[in-house]
Amino acid sequence: MLAEARIPKRYEHCDLESYQPLHATQKTAKKFAERFLDKYPFIDIGLLFLGPCGVGKTHLAVALLKRIITDRGDSCLFYDFRDLLREIQASWNSVARTSELEVLRPVLDAKVLVLDELGANKPTDWVRDTIAHIINCRYNDKKLTLFTSNFLDSAGNRGEETLTDRIGVRLRSRLHEMCRDIEIEGKDFRKEIKNAKVRFDTEIRNFGV
Ligand SMILES: Nc1ncnc2c1ncn2[C@@H]1O[C@H](COP(=O)(O)OP(=O)(O)O)[C@@H](O)[C@H]1O
Ligand SMILES: [Mg+2]
């Protein structure tokens, strides 16, 4: 089941134990994730992890997915939102081996779905309709969805695009209904690790080792 969940190799190592909260919001996010697992499956709304790159949104979403599979044996699926749209579009090609429904079926059926990087694709009408269709079907079937997005609800002081700009008012409001928002702040973990390594290497060099 883990293999069928399409969790990317890069994230296979992710679990709650290895998530180190370096910022207060990360501590809160981890607590919400733990509470989600405690309550599962008696829970009726999903989670929407919001925040900049590298704060561990995907890490937490994957950690939850893995635990639901191993603890409960429920069908789970991970999709990067851009890949999903690409696969749907590819299915329209007349020589495609899969139909749109074949791509969508597991996405609609999975007991728990992670849709990673919501809003990352250019928000054309088609993209909006497609997200709406997936979200509505899953919502009506009372299936849980965990979303992540790099777009926030406020534009910030540089006037960045908001999640509403990317997915539209109606969908954003739907997400409010079906998910608890979890905003995560902090530094890019990948960069931090890299900087720590550079510091370490420099120290080693200075010691003449
Ligand atoms: N707080 C954390 N503790 C441990 N690992 C982290 C943490 N935050 C991020 N990571 C790791 O850093 C990398 C980037 O995190 P990711 O979940 O992809 O961030 P995001 O989805 O927010 O852009 C991943 O390998 C992840 O496992
Ligand atoms: Mg991510």
Please report where in the chains the tokens 């299936």 appear, as a residue: 143
The pLDDT of residue 202 is above 90: no
For residue 118, give the ligand nearest its CA: 2
Pick the closest to residue 27 from 36, 38, 16 (CA basis).
Answer: 16
Nearest ligand (C-alpha, residue 80): 2
pLDDT-based confidence at 209, cuts 50/70/90? low
Whether the upstream peptide bond of residue 41 has omega within 30° of 0, thus cis, is: yes
Q: Where are the domains of the chain?
A: 3-206
Residue 105 has a pLDDT of 96
> Which helix (DSSP H) or strand (DSSP E) does residue 165 occupy?
helix 163-167
Mean pLDDT of 65-91: 96
pLDDT digit string, tens, across residues 4-33: 999 999 999 999 999 999 999 999 999 999
Region 163-188: mean pLDDT is 94
The secondary structure element, H or E, covering residue 15 is none
Tokens at residue 101, please? 């429904």
Quick count: other Cβ atoms within 10 Å of Cβ 66? Answer: 22
Query: How high is the pLDDT of residue 158?
Result: 83
Query: Does residue 53 have its Cβ closer than 6 Å to ligand 1?
Result: yes
Report the separation in Å between the CA atom of 14 and the middle of ligand 2, taken as the mean of its atom positions: 12
**CA–centroid distance, residue 40 to ligand 1 (Å):** 23
Query: Would the pLDDT of 138 be above 90?
Result: yes
Question: With a 6 A CB cut-off, is 20 part of the ligand 1 pocket?
Answer: yes
Phi-psi region of 182 (alpha: psi -120 to 50; beta: other; left: phi over 0): beta
**Does the C-beta of 191 come closer than 6 Å to ligand 1?**
no
pLDDT grade for 56, boundaries at 50, 70 and 90: very high
Residue from 189, 192, 194, 195 to probe ligand 1 pocket by mutation (most atoms less than 8 Å from CB) = 189
Q: What is the CA(112)–ligand 2 centre distance, in A?
A: 17
Cα–Cα distance measured from residue 176 to residue 196, given in angstroms and rounded to the nearest whole number: 38
Distance CA 143, CA 137 (A): 9
**Would you place residue 207 in the very low, low, confident or very high pLDDT band (cuts 50, 70, 90)?**
confident
Give Cα 111 to chain centroid, integer Å. 15
Spatial distance between the Cα atoms of 76 and 57, rounded to a whole number of angstroms: 17
Q: Specify the fold of 3-206.
A: Rossmann fold (3.40.50)
- Distance of alpha carbon 51 from its chain centroid, rounded? 11
